[in-house]
Structure 1
């Protein structure tokens, strides 16, 4: 640091040996401590009393929540594990072995064996330009900023106190509307069962009807006691025969001669 005025004292600006709290800004009262009531986000360093709750009410008293015949157990599984019956399977047919074909004289290139048989001079070639150096952009001198010297955020020099005028607050001013303040119903009341002992709760179940038979029973008009003949004598009854047509030929049976 160069200035036109001469130095006063033996102190000179230098790099700080360790972190200085004045150079860093804290987040302030942003992080709140965990609560001491309820189960959610309870302080782990504090004692938490046990809490109990009732189960969910079922729609039917005899409801079955089993999955039913959904899982199919293999037949070879017993209560003692898999049975020891040996099981075999057929593999696929192997490929037939082919005859080995040796390379002929035309497969060799002896003209390319000069470097391995005879002495040759070194040969060099130019490779393409690498793309790694073009992407590496080092920061220039203008990328670094020195700490400010003027103002209230100076680091190496002493700064005079600075003051600023804040805006007009709406609370307590002449144009404040007191009708917009929240009433008692705007606050959510915490259930006392959260921080105190919870009394027992009971409920009444639905009405159950006695199972009965839904078949139709015959009434008094469905019976005919005058037609009963098993317990009393029946008077004789007669009926007329069927009327035969005059145009039907009589039955003639073959008689022996």
Structure 2
């Protein structure tokens, strides 16, 4: 490593951290020591970029600089700021909601009133939060009701539970579903009123099916449209 000693003469403050220069840390190593880095996907993505170098591809990487700062007892926030060479991001509840339109302004009052009615029926009080259609699995999903206080944590937990990827104000890595959503045993139960409705439609289209028993008709409906409750 002929480059190392000349580099240290220019940057003597890094001599105590020569190990991070000789063998730059990788993301797995850094995460094991500093789990807070999970909240810094941008930093991890730039982990091997050089912050300062000798002009020949050798020097101090972004992740190495982060670890140097932590060794000097800097906080995670300060170390990440130094490594990324930018001001710390302000992630308060106010900044999260700032500039966001109420969902009724985006989707209309009719939609909003329907959502409020569905949530109220489930015991959700909308005075302390807002409904976010972006994370709703269906209309009126109570998990899409996000409290004003702790909005990021709520969204993060919802996405982590579902295995959804999320990037932006909240960063979550996606994962494969724990169950096959298309498997028959994981299907959503078909409500009784829908079974009756679909049975009527089938018989109307094919009157000869009147000869079949109700049980046989029900079986045809559930096999085609979903499992029975």
Higher strand share: 2
Q: One fold, TM greater than 0.5?
A: no
Smaller-chain TM-score bracket: under 0.3
Bigger helix fraction: 2
Q: Please tell me whether Structure 1 or Structure 2 has the larger radius of gyration of its CA atoms.
A: 1
TM-score, normalised via structure 1 length: 0.15
